[in-house]
Structure formats: structure tokens, C-alpha cells
Structure 1
Amino acid sequence: MTNASATAQSALDDVAVLMPAYNGQADVDLTLASFSESALVHVLIVDDGSTPPIVAPALANMKIDVLRMAQNGGIERALQTGIDALAQRGFRYAARIDAGDRSVPQRLAKQRAFMQAHPNVAGLGMWTQVVTRAGEPLFMLTPPAEPNTIRRMRFFRSCFAHPSMMLRIDAVRAVGNYRAEYRCAEDLDLFVRLMERYDCANLPELGLYYELNEGGISATKRRRQITSTMRLQLRYFNAANPYDWLGLAKNLLHLVMPYRALQRVKRVLLAPRASH
């Protein structure tokens, strides 16, 4: 093997894809098959009590382990367990994705290169194309890239697409890991705590195709998610930041607006405009 080949092969040895899964074997297979990298991709599937159990698909250029939970305990516990397992196995970065979503080619290499060059960045997301179950594009999520902008706007808009994130494992554990204190908003809870000590940023390019799933947490547990988000907003509220006030108002509106109506508004506001 040449030096260049050896370097490419080892380029992602400290990165592992972290995917929690509860049933949905076909979605797991689809998601993992979407990864296209120049190096071996390590994957940890945390099977959150699936019936039948999740089976690792046989995919070239991919080393997949399955960590089985004895019973279904929710995504918060699955992610916490997954982070601890990756730390014990010596990985430095966890690349999140959910079953049903699809990765853009070279996503992992791009995120790792950025985080290596910016050691104070503990979480790095990417722009995300939201699609239907059939893969049809709905709208793009293009959150801000700069850490300071994200800090100001963290409660006003969704600054990160959770399944697009690459996380520095030691930083996640240093701030207390994922936790179940804010059910259905475990990602925002983690990001807020990370941003107290480190930077979080976005790469301003497409990295993920996110499946809008009517059976997902954002749809089926929406009220709990909004309530948890508002509890976080109040805990970390900064009265001098106008975006914190706007974020509270926005979530109050979300409480009274039906989920499907909200999705229709998003499609209108965020759909690509035809050029003239």
C-alpha cells in the first residue's frame, strides 16, 4: 500500500457514525448505504430494543457494530450509551445520523477536516435538504455558520440539524453527555451546554438529506418537544438578547399551530424560488 493510500485509509479511523435505531431495518440499510467516503467508515448502531433486533447490513468499505439495549428506553438513553461506548473504543468524533436520512458523499471527511483545523469546535453541522419519504425535496435548512451568530440565535431558530452533526466525544462527555432531563429536545439541551464551553458551527454546504417522517419525534411528540424547548429557553434566558424574546414568542405560536399547518408554512417560506 502506498503512503497516500494508507493515509486515505486511516483518515477516518477516529470517527464513528452513531445511529440510534428502533425497528425500521429497511431505513437503517438505506441510510448506511448512502455513505460514500474514501476511507473505511466505522458505524455504531444502538439498537434501542427493536423487535426483531436490528441486523448490521453487509456493506463494502464499512465496519458496523450493533450495541443492543435490553429494552426500549428512548433516544436520549440510546445516544448517551452510544457516546460512552465510542469513548471506550477510542473514537474521537461521533457523526450523528438517523435511520431514514441519507448522507452526502464525503460528508465525514469534510467535517473531520474542519474540526481538526478548529480544535475549539465541539459540534459541527451542515446544511440539510428536507425530503419526503419518497425522496422528493421539500425545503432546505441553511442555518448560520458562525459560532457567535449561532449563540445569539440558538433559541430563535433551529441552528443545527441534529442528524448532520459531528461531535467531539470528549467535549460531549465533559458537559454531561446526552440526558433525558429535556425529553424530545435532547439535542438542543446538549448544544446549549456545549456552547457554554466550546464553539459549535455549521459547514455552509449540503451534507444531509433529512426525511420528514410523520411518525418521527417532531410530529408524534411535538407538544413535549416544544415544552422541553421552552424550559430550556427559560433556564438560559438572556433578557438582553432580542432573539431570546423572539424565540419564546415563536414557540408559543408553535404550541397553538397544528403540526401540518406549520409544515405547510415552512414549505412556502423555504421552498426554492424559480429563477426568471
Structure 2
Amino acid sequence: MNKVVLLIPYYNNSDGLMKSLRSIDHDEELDVMIVDDGSLNKFDEDTALLSFKAKGKLFFEYLESNKGIETALNTGLKIIIEKQYQYVARLDCGDICLGKRFEIQEKFLNENPGVKIVGSNVIAVDSNDNFLYSINLPLRDRDIKNKMYFNCMLIHPAVMFSVEILKVVGLYPLNHKSAEDYAFFFTISKSYEMANMNQYLTQIEINEKGISVQRRKQQVKSRIKIIKENFYFGFYPIYGLFRNYILMLLPYRFILFLKKIKK
């Protein structure tokens, strides 16, 4: 068994799943846990096995009905804990790995034992793989934790974290719809050191039919709730609340335009 397992939640996106599996470098040493969240459009296990060329095994778990990404992720994490992996990484269907992403992140965590979760810079593309913008994140723990009050400073499908922290922080919360990762990372930030790598290790797909776009207002409302739960009187929380209230009023296309001109 490998030390690293990749957790991929699946819901009605067979082409995206195969694209993600094919992007994993052949020399990577990791297993993959795919959790089907009660999909109607099932993927073919044989095609998945053929798409995955790395040095590891694929595991499949199927939920009887659609429970939401938080439940799918937690289902996978419970199995991962039982199997006693050391590190768990994340990827979403349609997103792809750049270079030997998992080897690089595993090495970083091994060489920096104080850090328990690491992300990376990310390239964003549309559903046709056309470049939209790049996301450059703060690298150091203090900067990440301060700017978490503005927005999530770890890109969910680009992270790898130590399984041991789940004993303290628990699983993904179920009461922050469309922002479960933001709440999860905030909980981690209270007890552990965080980092991002100054490399583009993941390419994410911005899909107009995806949760981040269709449920953007719900996502921002959840983000505001999380900021309030972690609030203290200081510049970062106050500015973060103000910023997110403004974002809730702005149309998505305008926000996308601002991200593109910053690239």
C-alpha cells in the first residue's frame, strides 16, 4: 500500500473523472479513492482502471443516493483512516495534475514536519481548456491564516494533508453548504501550520454548471458565516466581512473579468 491516497468525489461527470485520472504522472506512487455520490450517470470501472497509469490501486465506493459533496468526502476519509494512509490529497473531476504533483507535495510534507497541509498555485481554465487566469497564493503560514478571512487561501483540489490531523479537527463540516472546504481549512488553521508551494501543480476547470458558479451566493453566505464564527476585532476579519458582503452583490461575470485582467 502507498503512503498517499487521492480522494476524488464523483457526481455525473465520467469524462471529467477519466481526464483527471489520465493526468496523474505514470511514476507517481499513490492510490486513488473514488466516491460516487449517488450519480445517475455512472462511470465505468474498467475505463477508470485503464485511465489510471500510476503505481497504485483504485478503490471505488458508492453512495446509494446523492448526499452532497461533504458526505461523499467524509465517506472517503473514514475509509482512508481505516486503511491507515499517511497523507490524503484532493482532486475534483475535470481538474488535472501538473507534473509529479503528489511526489512534490509528499516530499515537502516529509521535509517540513511542522506543516500538516500544503497546497500550491493553480491554473484556471474553462471547460474547453482555454486559459482563464492563474491563482498565486500566499506561501507562509501566517500570511495564509491572515488572508483566510478574505477568501480561501488553499485551493481544495490542490491540497495534500496529513491524515493524523483528522483525530483533532474531525471530518468536513456538514453545516456550511458550498463552503465545506473553507470551514475545514479554518479548523485546521487553529491547530496546525499551513503552507502553499510556489509552483503550479494543479489545473482547475471553471465550469459554468459547477457548484462554485451556480451556488456562488450560497457559497459567499457560508463564507460570511464562517468568518463570523472565527471573528476577532482586527483588520483581517473586518475587511474580510466587508469584502465578502460586496462580492455577494456583484455578478459572477464581473468577478471573472476582474480575475482575468489580474492574470
Q: Which of 3, 10, 14 does residue 21 from structure 1 map onto? A: 10
Does the 8 A contact of 1:48 with 1:72 survive in 2?
A: yes
Does the 8 A contact of 1:129 with 1:210 survive in 2?
A: yes
Q: How many angstroms does 1:173 deviate by? A: 4.0
Does the 8 A contact of 1:94 with 1:166 survive in 2?
A: yes
With the length of structure 1 as denominator, give the TM-score of the two structures. 0.90
Q: What stretches of structure 1 move > 2 A for 4+ residues in a row?
A: 37-41, 52-56, 59-62
2:81 matched to 1:92? no
Q: How many angstroms does 1:101 deviate by? A: 0.4
Match of 1:153 in 2: 147
Which amino acid in structure 1 is aligned with residue 25 of structure 2? Answer: S
With the length of structure 2 as denominator, give the TM-score of the two structures. 0.94
Match of 2:257 in 1: 264
Which amino acid in structure 2 is aligned with residue 88 of structure 1? Answer: E
Query: Helix, strand or coil for the counterpart of 1:197?
Result: coil
Tell me the distance in 2 between the aligned counterparts of 1:122 and 1:194: 9
| RMSD (Å) for aligned C-alpha atoms | 1.3
Pick closer, same or farther for the CA change 1:37–1:116 going to 2, 3 Å.
farther
Residues 175-212 of structure 1 show CA distances to partners (whole Å, capped at 9, x for unaligned) of 12112111111001111111111011101111101101
Q: Which of 61, 69, 76 does residue 75 from structure 1 map onto? A: 69
Tell me the distance in 2 between the aligned counterparts of 1:37 and 1:120: 29
Q: Which of 129, 133, 148 does residue 127 from structure 2 map onto? A: 133
Tell me the distance in 1 between the aligned counterparts of 2:113 and 2:25: 25
Q: Tell me, which stretches of 5 or more residues in structure 2 are unaligned?
A: none
Pick closer, same or farther for the CA change 1:75–1:173 going to 2, 3 Å.
farther
Q: How many angstroms does 1:37 deviate by? A: 4.7
* Residue correspondence of structure 1 range 94-109 to structure 2 within 5 A: 94-109=88-103
Which amino acid in structure 2 is aligned with residue 206 of structure 1? Answer: Y
Tell me the distance in 1 between the aligned counterparts of 2:238 and 2:207: 30
Match of 2:227 in 1: 233
* Residue correspondence of structure 1 range 109-188 to structure 2 within 5 A: 109-188=103-182
Larger Rg: 1
Does the 8 A contact of 1:91 with 1:169 survive in 2?
A: yes
Which amino acid in structure 2 is aligned with residue 267 of structure 1? Answer: K
Query: Helix, strand or coil for the counterpart of 1:19?
Result: strand
Q: How many angstroms does 1:41 deviate by? A: 2.8
Does the 8 A contact of 2:5 with 2:33 survive in 1?
A: yes
Tell me the distance in 1 between the aligned counterparts of 2:177 and 2:85: 27
Match of 1:252 in 2: 245
Tell me the distance in 2 between the aligned counterparts of 1:119 and 1:199: 9
Does the 8 A contact of 2:158 with 2:202 survive in 1?
A: yes
Q: Tell me, which stretches of 5 or more residues in structure 1 are unaligned?
A: 1-9, 272-276
Tell me the distance in 2 between the aligned counterparts of 1:39 and 1:251: 39
Query: Helix, strand or coil for the counterpart of 1:125?
Result: strand
Does the 8 A contact of 2:87 with 2:163 survive in 1?
A: yes
Tell me the distance in 2 between the aligned counterparts of 1:265 and 1:220: 19
Match of 1:5 in 2: none
Q: How many angstroms does 1:257 deviate by? A: 0.5
- State the identity %: 28
Query: Helix, strand or coil for the counterpart of 1:129?
Result: strand
Query: Helix, strand or coil for the counterpart of 2:57?
Result: strand
Does the 8 A contact of 1:172 with 1:194 survive in 2?
A: no
